[in-house]
Structure 1
Amino acid sequence: MVDQLTFTQQNRERILAVESSFRPSGKMLSQPGRVLVGEGRLSKQSRRGPQPKAFFLFNDMLVYGSIVLRGRWHKNQQIIPLEDICLEDLEDGVGRRNQWLIRTPRKSFYVTAASYEEKRAWIEHMEDCRSRLLQSRSCTPSSTFAMTWIPDRASAVCMRCSDRFTVTQRRHHCRKCGFVVCGSCSKQRAVIGHIHPTKRLRVCTECHPGLLQAEDRDITRLRGDSAGKTGSDEDEVEEYSEEEEAQENDEDHDPSRWTDSHMDSWSPYIYLRPEHRRTRMGSGL
């Protein structure tokens, strides 16, 4: 009993510390039944190359953000419910070690750990927490995930029209298929509901017709659903984060930066305590 009370207090203090590190722009993380399972740093692959990020694994969600002041502060807080996550392990290859793929409805991305042991610990603990969460909530996991973006260095030509990229013929990415395309082949915009319910995103000429048809069907359905509603309240739409806006707007970057990060000086993954296995998830999760 005493050990459980001690763990509960330590867990509360740890969560408050993570919460405070994201202030003032971060969301509140403290919640009844929530347990901070582990934390550490991973290299997240982005358009600008590998970026060091601080990751925090809870028993119901994954939180990560950019590192400020050597890890004392964080920004660009991202929160992903564990039921929306699908993990895909990757074998080591040339220029790729200790990497795996995190798929979510809004974005899918590669992460790299400093060692094989840390990689296995992250994957095992994330899958364990997700499995327990799904059992306790009896909810249906997400089945629609965003495509990962193909790195710029993977193609010297547009993957739709085969025009060669130059200083003036810049690379872009289709938000639907993730292909590297030129400006002429990505002039269209469309809503991709699982990525953002209202924002019109850049898509290629191949993906646009199908998305346009789906958009027309959704508009018709929403009009029918709203016919019987009263009042002027609208569903709150989560705005794009600063990181996602930067990814959306940053089209000119150096493909040579897609290399493995040096992680020798990074803090290792910390598996805080196994008590989360015995902690009963309350209705507040």
Structure 2
Amino acid sequence: MMELPAATLTFAQENRERIYAVQHSFGPLGKPLVEPNRVLIGEGRLMKMSPRGGPQPKVFFLFNDVLVYGSIILNGHWYKKQKIIPLEQIQIEELEDGIKMKNQWLVRTPRKSFYVGASSPVEKQAWIEHIRDCQAALLQGGGRQASSDFAVTWIPDKASAICMRCSNRFSLTQRRHHCRRCGFVVCAACSKARAVISHMHPTKPQRVCTMCYSVQTSTWSSEKMGSEEDEVETSSEDEEVEEIYQEVHDPGRWMDPQMNSWAVHVYLNPEHTKPQTNGP
């Protein structure tokens, strides 16, 4: 039986401890994160654009196979509303600076697409390159296939004072909703329809506007009309105000394979998943 180098055993142990710490930071409601061959690549705080509340700070953890993020509580030591996205389901689109958010890019996934922003152009490129490197290595390993269908990004609530289908003005009683097919801000009357959008959910009908419903009915696998007294639409992770709003960005930390330790802005190559050793 071949004995593993001490550096490899140390790296594996430290990596496992870091992942356990991340898992524990999400509390009892968080999903397990420790899995065989999973490596924690980096972590940091990014601003995530909410269509309802504007930019909000979130904590992000990049592993060699998934991207995990959540809301910040208790001065950044505890997190909630954990989201786990397999890297093969992510598509990255680089963007220019926006009015409300600098150093931003678009993260597309089958169920949800959203904007995130870093504290500097250097940090932005580091996140994008790390995600793409991990994604490429994952797909080259076989067994996983990249997603081809992605959710649209929602138009922010404040972008329109009227329904983008019927032009009726929004008010306290005339609430805003979003079409899951086009992302438009629409009223309840213009979003009664429900249709299955398979890449968002294989069986659960999603809210769609009247135009998308009429145009796409023939191509969707199934659909049904909802009642006018439908459920209250919420976006649990985006609408709730953070208990503690962190204005200062964490610059991000990445695993340095040469040192087997954490460092600020150590940008890695695809072979970051294993410690570099001089021995056989």
TM over 0.5: yes
TM superposition score normalised by structure 1: 0.78
Query: Residue in 2 aligned with 1:17?
Result: 21
**1:277 maps to amino acid:** E
Which residue, out of 27, 42, 47, partners 1:43? 47
**1:168 maps to amino acid:** T
Alignment partner of 1:196: what SS? coil
TM superposition score normalised by structure 2: 0.79
Which residue, out of 174, 185, 194, partners 1:180? 185
CA-atom RMSD, angstroms?
2.7
Query: Residue in 2 aligned with 1:235?
Result: none
Query: Residue in 2 aligned with 1:108?
Result: 113
Q: Partners of 2:153 and 2:257 in 1: how far apart?
A: 33
Paired residues of 1:40 and 1:269 also in contact (CA < 8 A): yes
Q: Partners of 1:95 and 1:250 in 2: how far apart?
A: 16
1:28 aligns with 2:22: no
Q: How far does residue 102 in structure 1 lie from its aligned partner after superposition?
A: 0.2
- Number of aligned pairs? 247
More helix by share: 1
1:189-208 to 2 correspondences below 5 Å: 189-208=194-213
Q: How far does residue 215 in structure 1 lie from its aligned partner after superposition?
A: 4.7
Q: Partners of 2:104 and 2:75 in 1: how far apart?
A: 23
Q: Partners of 1:41 and 1:135 in 2: how far apart?
A: 29
Q: Partners of 2:143 and 2:195 in 1: how far apart?
A: 33
Q: How far does residue 97 in structure 1 lie from its aligned partner after superposition?
A: 0.9
Paired residues of 1:190 and 1:211 also in contact (CA < 8 A): no
Superposed CA offset, 1:27-82 (max 9, x none): 11111111000001111111222221111000001011111211222111111000
Which residue, out of 247, 259, 266, partners 2:235? 247
1:50-199 to 2 correspondences below 5 Å: 50-137=55-142, 139-199=144-204
Q: Partners of 1:93 and 1:139 in 2: how far apart?
A: 34
Q: Which runs of 5+ in 2 are unaligned?
A: 225-232, 259-269, 275-280
Q: How far does residue 218 in structure 1 lie from its aligned partner after superposition?
A: 9.3
Paired residues of 1:114 and 1:263 also in contact (CA < 8 A): no
Deviates more, 1:266-275 or 1:173-182: 266-275
Paired residues of 2:195 and 2:222 also in contact (CA < 8 A): no
1:279 aligns with 2:273: yes
Q: Percent identity?
A: 59
Q: Which runs of 5+ in 1 are unaligned?
A: 220-244, 281-285
